[in-house]
Structures are given as structure tokens and as C-alpha cells.
Amino acid sequence: MFDNICKFLAENFSTDFATWLLGEPISLTELSPSELSLEPIRADALILLESTELVLHLEFQTQPDVNLPFRMIDYRLRVYRRFPQKQMRQVVIYLKETSSELVQQNTFTIAGTRHEFEVIRLWEQPIEVFLRYPGLFPFAVLGETDDRASTLQQVAQEIIGIPDQRLQNNVAAATAILAGLVLEKGLIQRVLRRDNMRESVIYQEIEAEAQAKGRAQGIAEGRAEGLQEGIRRVTINLLKSQMPLEEVAKLTGLSIEDVQLLQTEIEGQNNS
């Protein structure tokens, strides 16, 4: 979920990200991983933005990943194969503070080969950086601060100042979700208006995904119940034909105990 939120922000506020990471408001557009010559390793986490001269590769991480350095050189080579004339900036952005040494790693090294990439640990970044641009507001509460609740209040005030209501709702929803990494849900809901956030594209996509999963689970459970009912009916018919319990158990896959329970049920019906 956090990957999707960061991807939404990077793609919809690409100029804000370019200003932050590249130092200038370059116009960037999404580059689909399918445009590369090979299938991506983790297309869900991959964010590629491009201009006429540059490709910006972003990876957002909530947890350290030992395979990340290899992934960075792998994509660097894939992009070079597709766009040999373009520069490339690769930035790994860690969202949640950790003491793991992996978040310090910014190179991939094997014999004869060394590749470097940039690493940003949000908890070391001053929150003022994120309060300058709407697309970065959601990261402020994850920045360097001694009082995350107060920072969330500050972000909420900045969000209110966004004149476009749709934009305001989307930023608020993204802020609420990312704040869940470091703050309690109740506090977040008190600070950020839930009714407005529900109107955002982000919340609607999350709810649609949850509903789809719910429907899929319901269908699976229904099928499982139907299968169990079918096995039950077959077992009863086999028992009524006087087939030995052991053979019924082998044919239906039920335990002897379950078959005996059904046998007792049949006998009870016959005696009633």
C-alpha cells in the first residue's frame, strides 16, 4: 500500500519531486517498465520518470532489502540499453526509521564493477523541505522532528491552504496513510478530516481494492462451502449403500471420525 501511495505522489506531483531531488522543476512524465527490454523484477515498487534528457528512478522502501543494490544496477543497465543517450538519477527513499546497516548502503560492488546510487533516509531530512511543495507534504511527518503529532498538525494547516479541493483531498489521504507508519490511527483521524479524505482518488482506489478482495474471498469461501456440502452428500449416499466406513473415508478424503458422525446422523434420522 505504501508503495502505491508514493507512486501516486511521484507521478502526480512529478515537478515537486524534480525540484526536491534534481534541484529544478523539470517536467517529467511516467516511463512504463514495459518499455524496457526485459521484464521488471518488482514493477509494483518501480517508479520511473523521464524528461528528454534524464530518467529519474525512485524506489521507496519501508523495510531494508538486501537485494536492493543489485536491483539498482540492474535497472541502470536496462535503462541504458533503451536510452543510452539519457542521464539517470537513481534514488532510494527509506520511509521508516531503522537501525539496519542496509539503509546506509549506496553501492553495488562485485569484482571489476562498482555502481553507485543515492539514498535518502526521511527521518534525517528537515521537515521544512517537505512543507514547501504540496506533493511532498505527506512526507513531512516522517522527517526529522521531535514531535510528530505537532508536525502532523502543521501539515494539516498547509493542506487546508491548497485551493483545489480535489488536490487537497488527495494530499490529505496520502498524508494520513503515510502517517500511519509512525502515528496512531486515532490521532491521525482527529487531525485530518476523514470525510474529505474519502473523496480522494487514493481512498477510492483503496476501498475498491478492499471490496474486490472481499468479493474474491466471498467467492472462494462459497466455493469451499459448496465443495464441503457436495462431499457430505456423497458420503451420506455411500453410507446409505452400506459401504464400510473405512472405504467411505478413503473415497471422500474424510477422517473416520467425520464419517462416523455422519453415520450417527443418518441413524438418528432413521430412528426419528
Predicted local confidence at residue 35, as pLDDT: 73
**Claim to verify: residue 174 and residue 95 sit in the same structural domain:** yes
Predicted local confidence at residue 139, as pLDDT: 97
* Cell numbers linked to 64: 531494508
212-221: average pLDDT: 54
Number of compact structural domains in the chain: 2
Domain boundary among 203, 236, 257: 203
**Claim to verify: residue 49 and residue 159 sit in the same structural domain:** yes
Is it the case that residue 9 has pLDDT exceeding 80?
yes
Predicted local confidence at residue 261, as pLDDT: 87
CA–CA separation, 159 and 215 (whole Å)? 35
40 confidence band (pLDDT: 50, 70, 90): low
**Claim to verify: residue 126 and residue 252 sit in the same structural domain:** no
Name the range with the highest mean pLDDT among 176-180, 192-196, 247-251: 176-180
**Claim to verify: residue 162 and residue 231 sit in the same structural domain:** no
Considering the entire predicted model, what is its pTM?
0.71
Q: Please, what is the average pLDDT of the chain?
A: 84
